[in-house]
Structure formats: structure tokens, C-alpha cells
Structure 1
Amino acid sequence: MVYIYYSYLSEEEHRKLLEIDLPKFPKDYQEKIKRYRRWQDAQLSLLGRILLFKGIEQIYKHNPLDKVIKHTKFSKPYFEDNFIHFNISHSGEIVVCALSDESEIGIDIEIVTDIEIEDFKSQMSENEFGKIVISSNSTRSFFDYWTQKEAVIKAQGEGLSIPLSSFEVSDYRTMINGEKFFLKEIKINDKYKCYVSQKMSISDVTIKNI
């Protein structure tokens, strides 16, 4: 089972988040949040941590404050006991957090905006880019592929050290270095594209707004 928690930014809620939720986290994390100049940036980071900890409490009935978050050499966060796999992403005004106890997981969300698609041609396979340019909505098609690719490399764990053009997404699956990855679209808001990825087929997904 994959669990997706998400939340929207809220300027009205920001003070309460800082006063009630932030003190629950380690001092070094509190200082990191306080260093942000824009309230939006601070809240995006804080909401990711809040969603993660709420998920752990509600789904797995664990005390998240007992868990230590570490980072791989590729900067992917993970828990020291490695029992719960998670990944966080944000774009625009939405933060998403994916959790699973089955395998490594990756999630990516992107707000769909007008871009120069040609600027990203080198990030796609020839086949992917061909499908994008002939699509009836090339912008949405681009973000569809881009979000899937980002979710996959986050699940794989080596991040941008894996060139996006080095693998091709087809029918919600792909291969990286001999490993198969599966994808599923998460529909939260029509203005965004969001995908989750794992090494196993994704069938059951629970989505919860916090």
C-alpha cells in the first residue's frame, strides 16, 4: 500500500505552524526553518515534515519523534531503521509526501506552466520528445513525462546523477541499470501533474489532504 499525504500553503496558518508544530522537531531543523526569508519557503519545508510525521502516526502507529532522519550520499532522506520509506515533493502551493513500508519510493509534483519545451529536448529520449511535440497539448504532455522521470530517479535513489535522457518511460514503467520501476499518477489538482514510483507495481493508493 502507498499512502499520499498533501497540503496547500496557507499564509493564515503560518504563525500557528511555527508556534505549535515547529517546536516538535529537533533544534537544528527549527533553526533551518527560521533562516528562510520567505514564509512560503519556510512553510513548504515545514509542511513536508509535518505530513511525514502525521503519516507515521496515523498509518503505522509509531512515534515519529523517535525516528532519526539521515541522508544518503545523494542527499536522499531516509530513516535510520529503514522500516518506513518516504519521499517529499512540492511545487507551486502544494506539498506532497509519499509513504510505504514495501520498498523505496519516489514522488514528484509539478505545477503545469508555459515553458520553452525545446529547452528540455536533451532531457528526453527521442521517442518521448516525439510524442510530446505531436501531442494535442504539448505542455501537459511534457510535464507528464518530466514528473514521471523525476519520481523514478527519486525512487531509484541517485537523483540527478542519473541523466533523465538515459531511460525512457512507457506505459507507466521504465528501467534504470537493470532495475524495473513502476509509476502511478496521483490526481490532486488539475493545474498540477503528480506521479509516484516504486520498484513494484502500484495498485492500492490512499490519498489524504491535511
Structure 2
Amino acid sequence: MVILHTFISEKKHQKLLDTYLDTFSDDFKNSVLRYKRWQDAQLSLLGRVLLQYGLRTYYDISDVVVDRLSNHKPFLKGQKLHFNISHSKNLVVCAIAEFPIGIDVEFKDTAVNYLDFQFQMTNNEFQKIHDSEDKTDGFFKYWTYKEAVIKAHGSGMMIPLESFEVIDDKCFLDGQIFFTKEIFIDHDYYSCIASDDEMIKSVKGIFEQVSLG
């Protein structure tokens, strides 16, 4: 497993577009250029750049096609590897693994009030966060765990967050068991990975901050 990350930069934006955009398909290029905010365009672009870099550097794969399953989850066509991309605020991460994987990162926004999200929690989850000494910390850990599971499952927003619970780094969803693991990427962000493969609990992985542009 390889987990790569980088940070967006307005100063480098045009150079990043000039350097990397033409290395992708016209469909992806157009999807990046449709964004009105430079932040959104760069987050989308750098997620794929990290994937490209990781496949080439750690798996000796230089040419790959990203396709989508019927549930719209992206996958690597013709490869046994799996990947997932997440971004929040100024951080972009890409996880590549030999097993299905979901990853989620969230910026530590102290302005977020966990009470605003109570309807998206089970009673047990809400009570656990409410009783915790640091409620912001408790909320974001809950959020990243559940988002990572949903991304590992692949059905996106079709699954309500309150419909399942993560207990002791494990949960049941649609008849499958998913395992979660909190990881560290940056002090200002919470992050978690998830998979239906129990290997995720023991694999250490390679972590790299990638300098681009």
C-alpha cells in the first residue's frame, strides 16, 4: 500500500496545468477546466497526478486507463491494483493498494459544530462524541471513518451515514465486513483508510509527500 499526498498552491497553478494537464484524456482535461475556482481544478488534477506518480514510481506502471464501475466508482482498467483519492481544504491524498481501499481526509475546522450533524449519526455515535473531552476531535474521527468505509464500498452518497456504525475499527454494511484504520498524514487533518480486506489492519504501507511543480 502506498499513500501519497501533496498541497495545492495558487502560485503554481498555471505551471501545474501546463505541465500535467495534457498527459490525461480529453474527458478528464475538460472536467478539470470546467471548474470555476482554481482550488477545485487543482485538487482534481493533482489527485490524478499523484495516482500517475505512484503507479510509475512504486509499481512500474506508466500507462493505465481509469474507468468507472456501474456505481461510478473509478478503477484501474486491466490492473489488479486499487486506488482512492480524497481531498480537503489544501490537501490531496491518493491511496494505492493491492486490495480494495477507501481513504478520507478532513481539515481540522474548529468552526464545525458536531450538533449540526446529529441527524447523520446513530444514537451511540452521537453519545460517544457528546461525552468525549474533545468533541471536535471526536466528530472528525467519526466522520473520516465512515466516509472511508463508504468510499471503500463504492456506492457514494447512496448510503446514509447513520445507517451503519464503526465499532472497534469494524463495521457491517450491505452484508460485508469493512475494517478501518486511522492514519497520520498531517497535523492539520484527520485521515482514515478502510477496506473489506482485513489486511488493512496490519499493513504498514509507504507514505510520501510529493513535491509537484
Shift of 1:82: 4.3
Q: How does 1:83-94 map to 2 (within 5 A)?
A: 83-94=80-91
Q: How does 1:1-12 map to 2 (within 5 A)?
A: 2-12=1-11
TM-score (norm 2): 0.92
Shift of 1:188: 1.5
Shift of 1:14: 1.5
Q: What's 2:96 paired with? A: 99
Equivalent residue letter for 1:62: I
Secondary structure at 1:20 match in 2? helix
Structure 1: which 5+ runs fail to align? none
Q: What's 2:119 paired with? A: 122
Secondary structure at 2:87 match in 1? strand
**Quick check: 1:23 aligned with 2:22?**
yes
Q: What's 2:33 paired with? A: 34
Q: Determine the C-alpha separation between the residues in 2 that align with 1:127 and 1:73.
A: 33
Secondary structure at 1:62 match in 2? coil
CA root-mean-square deviation: 1.3
**Quick check: 1:109 aligned with 2:94?**
no
Shift of 1:99: 0.6
- Count residues in correspondence: 206
**Quick check: 1:149 aligned with 2:146?**
yes
Q: Determine the C-alpha separation between the residues in 2 that align with 1:164 and 1:110.
A: 16
Q: What's 2:180 paired with? A: 183
Deviations, residues 78-115 of structure 1 (Å, cap 9, x unaligned) = 122241100000001000001112x2110011112222
Shift of 1:166: 1.4
Q: Determine the C-alpha separation between the residues in 1 that align with 2:187 and 2:171.
A: 25
**Quick check: 1:195 aligned with 2:192?**
yes
Deviations, residues 100-155 of structure 1 (Å, cap 9, x unaligned) = 12x21100111122223222112112111111001111111011001100000100
Q: Determine the C-alpha separation between the residues in 2 that align with 1:35 and 1:161.
A: 25
Percent pairwise identity: 44
Instruction: Between 73-82 and 87-96, report the one with greater CA deviation.
Output: 73-82
Structure 2: which 5+ runs fail to align? none
Shift of 1:20: 1.2
Q: Determine the C-alpha separation between the residues in 2 that align with 1:72 and 1:16.
A: 32
Shift of 1:198: 1.1
